[in-house]
Amino acid sequence: MRTILTTVSSPGFLYLASQSPRRRQLLEQLGVRHELLLPGPDEDSEALEAVRPGEAPAAYVKRVTGLKLEAAVARLVRRGLPPAPVLCSDTTVALGRAIYGKPEDARDAARMLSELSGHTHRVLTAVAVQSGRRRFDALSDSRVTFAKLTPAQIRGYIAGGEPTGKAGAYAVQGTAAAFITRIAGSYTGIMGLPLFETAQLLRKVGVRWG
């Protein structure tokens, strides 16, 4: 607790309420010091991500990010941790109004990749930060174009394990780069934490870094 106490008092500290290794990596890329604020065994964080029938992708990703943030702030209070800004994010892939979250299994990943194959889809990442009663959020909306994928390519990609834990069953930062013909928007937003928008939010709540 002493370590946290000394760090939270400095303005360059926040809680990252995410179990995504990519989000941690991206926050470290900015040089922002943080502690993880992860759900306990009593919290069903996956339940927050249920899609409402007919919900538009942008509305979905903003709503889920808000739910994640509310749960994280309650967690902070419940655990009696020293106050500091809390950052959450959610990434979803959309083709038209179809929403692609993290694949359930290899079959689900194959379905997603075959549907995304040869098309341009959106990657939407919402990010939100709360400090005391102040809350700010932002949305990153990018487009990613896949080359046409053969069933063998899809099988090979899935066998490599990359789709696990990734919205849309792919990782722009991984070997999927070999079949991404074009991106428009935010590379870091596609990966899971749009760093331009995140930096803007952190400045709004007085978090400084570097």
Ligand X SMILES: Cc1cn([C@H]2C[C@H](O)[C@@H](COP(=O)(O)OP(=O)(O)OP(=O)(O)O)O2)c(=O)[nH]c1=O
Catalytic residue among 42, 90, 108, 137: 90
- List residues bridging with 112 in a β-sheet: none
Q: Strand 98-100 relative to strand 134-146: parallel, antiparallel, unpaired?
A: unpaired
- Nearest distance, CB of residue 89 and ligand X, angstroms: 6
Nearest to 136 by CA among 84, 189, 66: 66
Catalytic, 90? Answer yes
Nearer to ligand X, 101 or 131 (CB): 101
**Burial label, 12 (beta-carbon count in 10 A; 0-12, 13-18, 19+):** middle
Q: What are phi and psi of 30, to 5 degrees?
A: -75, -20
- List residues bridging with 57 in a β-sheet: none
Could you list the residues that contact ligand X (CB under 6 A)? 18-20, 22-23, 49, 89-91, 93, 102, 123, 165-168, 170-173, 190-192
Nearer to ligand X, 20 or 117 (CB): 20
Q: What are phi and psi of 139, to 5 degrees?
A: -130, 130
- List residues bridging with 122 in a β-sheet: 94, 143
- Nearest distance, CB of residue 190 and ligand X, angstroms: 5
Nearer to ligand X, 60 or 170 (CB): 170
- List residues bridging with 146 in a β-sheet: 180
Nearer to ligand X, 75 or 102 (CB): 102
- Nearest distance, CB of residue 166 and ligand X, angstroms: 4
- Nearest distance, CB of residue 117 and ligand X, angstroms: 15
Q: Which two tokens stand for residue 157?
A: 């990609």
Task: Please identify every residue annotated as catalytic.
Answer: 90
